[in-house]
Amino acid sequence: MSSRLRSPLVALFGGLALTLPWIVSWVTGRAANFSTLGTVAVSGVAVLGASFLLAWGAETAEKDVPRAFAIAVLAVLAVAPEYAVDALYAWQAGQGDAQAANLAVANMTGANRILIGIGWSGIALFSIYQAYTRGDDPNVVTTDSKLGDYVSLDRDISLEIAFLFAATVFAFFVPLGGGIGGIDTLVLVGLYAAYILVIIRGDVEEVEEQVGVPAYLQSKPFGVRAASVLALFGYSGLLIFTAVEPFAHGLEDLGLQYGIPEFFMIQWIAPLASESPELIVTAYLVNKARATAAFNALISSKLNQWTLLIGTLAVVYSISAGQYGVLMFDEKQAAEIWITAAQSFFALAILINFQISVREALVLLVLFLSQVVTEFYFIRTMTEAAAEANSVLLLEAYTVLYLVLTVGLLATRRDEMRAVASLTGATIREAVGGDSEQPAD
C-alpha cells in the first residue's frame, strides 16, 4: 500500500482507536465500575475521537450534498448530548419536579452562551493565531492594528444570520409568558424546519480540495462514499450520545468535590462538556485553514440550539405530564433567557458585515467571562437569597449592556443589514424555484 493511501487510513483507524476503550466498556457494562476520574478520562478521549470522525464524515459529504446541509447535520449530531440533558430535565419537570424546569432553562441558556462566548470568540482568535504562525488561511485578513485583524466569512452564511436573527427577536418574548409553551414550539421549530427546507434545496457547491481522510473517501465510488459517510455519522453520533453525558456528570462530580455549587455546575460545566464535540470539530477545521467552514458549523449549532432545543422542551414536558402543558420557570431563568438573547443579538451585529476581528472576539469573550466569574463570586460569598437577587440584577445589567452595544453597531451597519436581507431573499427565491440572480456586492 502506498504511503499516500496509508496515511489517511492510519488517521482513520487512529480516530477509531480513541473510541474503542469507551465503546467496549459501555457495551460490556464495565463503564459503570470506573472511578469518577476514570470515567472522565475514557469518555473524554472517546469524545475526542468521535469529533474527528464526525468532521471527516461532514467533509466527505460535501461532495454529494449542499455544504450547509452537511454542516447542519454535523451541528445536530455534535450537540445531541445537550438535547439529551435538557430533555431529561424537562421530563423530570413533567413528573412534578418544579426545580427541574429551572435546571432545563439554566442548562439551555448556559450552552447557548458558551457557544458564542467561548466558541465564536475562541475560534476567531484561534483562526487568526493559526494564520500568524502558519500564514496559510486565506480567510484571515491582517491590518495595521493587531486588534483590527479579522476573519472574513463566507457571505453564504447570510441565510443562517437571518434565521438566527428572527429566532433571537422571538426569544425576547418567551419569558413574558412565564414559560415555554406551544406557541414557542410552533414558531421556533417552524423556523428551523423552514431553514432546513431552504438549504436542502440548494445546489451542491464545488468541493474544496481536501486532504487526508476526506480526500481518500471522496475518491471512492458513490456507494462506498455514501456508506462511509453514514457509518461515520452513525458511529460518531452513538459515541457522542453515550459518552458525553458520563463525561459531563464526571466533571460535575469532580467540581462538587472541590466545593463548586451544583446549580453552577449544571449551568456551565455540564454544557461546556456537552459542547466539546462541536468545539473540537471547529478547531480541527481551523487547523486545516477552513475558518469559514468552522464558523458555518458554529452558527448552524447556535441556530439549532436556539430554535429546536428551546422549542422541543415544551413537547418533552407535555409528553411526560401526559397532557399539554407549559414548562414554567422562575424570575432568574427569565433573566437568563433575556441575557442569552441579548448576547446573540450582539454577536449577530458583529457578524452582520461577514467579519469578526480580534477586538470583537475579545469583547465577546471578556463580556461572557466577566459575567460568569462575577456570578460565581456572588454564589461563593453571599447567602443563597442574596446571591440570587444580585445575580438577577447582574443579568439584567449585562442584558442592557449587550443591547446598547448592539444598537450602536447596527446603527453604523445599516448597509450590511440590507445586504444580508437581500442575500437571504435571493437564496430563498432560488430554493423555491424563483429568481436565482444574486444581488451585487
- Report pLDDT digits (tens) over 311-352: 889 999 999 999 999 999 989 999 999 999 999 999 999 999
Contacts of 392 (CB under 8 A, 6+ apart): 331, 332, 335
Determine the pLDDT at residue 391: 94
CA–CA gap between residue 65 and residue 48 (Å, rounded): 25
What does 197-242 look like in DSSP terms, one character per residue?
Answer: HHHHTSPPPPPPPP-HHHHHHHTS-HHHHHHHHHHHHHHHHHHHHH
Q: Which of 22, 24, 75 is nearest to 49 (CA)?
A: 22
Q: Tell me if the pTM is above 0.85.
A: no
Helices 276-287 and 222-257: angle between axes, nearest 10 degrees: 120
Averaged over 46-72, what is the pLDDT? 75
- Give yes or no for residue 262 having a pLDDT over 80: no
Cell of 277: 464535540
- 117: how many CB neighbours lie within 10 A of its CB? 21
pLDDT in tens, 185-207: 999 999 998 988 888 776 555 55
CA–CA gap between residue 158 and residue 161 (Å, rounded): 5
The H or E element containing residue 381 is helix 358-381
Q: Where are the domains of the chain?
A: 3-431
- State the burial class of residue 441 (Cβ atoms within 10 Å of its Cβ: 0-12, 13-18, 19+): exposed
Give residue for cell 421530563. Answer: 91
Q: Which of 71, 107, 56, 116 is nearest to 288 (CA)?
A: 56
| DSSP category for residue 62 | T
**Hey, CA dihedral for 283, 289, 290, 291, is it positive or negative?**
positive
CA distances from residue 42 to 137, 276, 373, 374 in whole angstroms, order as listed: 34, 15, 29, 33
Across the strands, what pairs with 140?
151
pLDDT in tens, 77-117: 666 767 777 887 888 899 988 788 888 898 899 989 999 99
The residue type of 200 is I
Contacts of 436 (CB under 8 A, 6+ apart): 426, 429, 430
**From 1.20.210.10, 3.30.470.10, 1.20.1050.10, 1.20.1420.30, which CATH number describes the 3-431 domain?**
1.20.1420.30
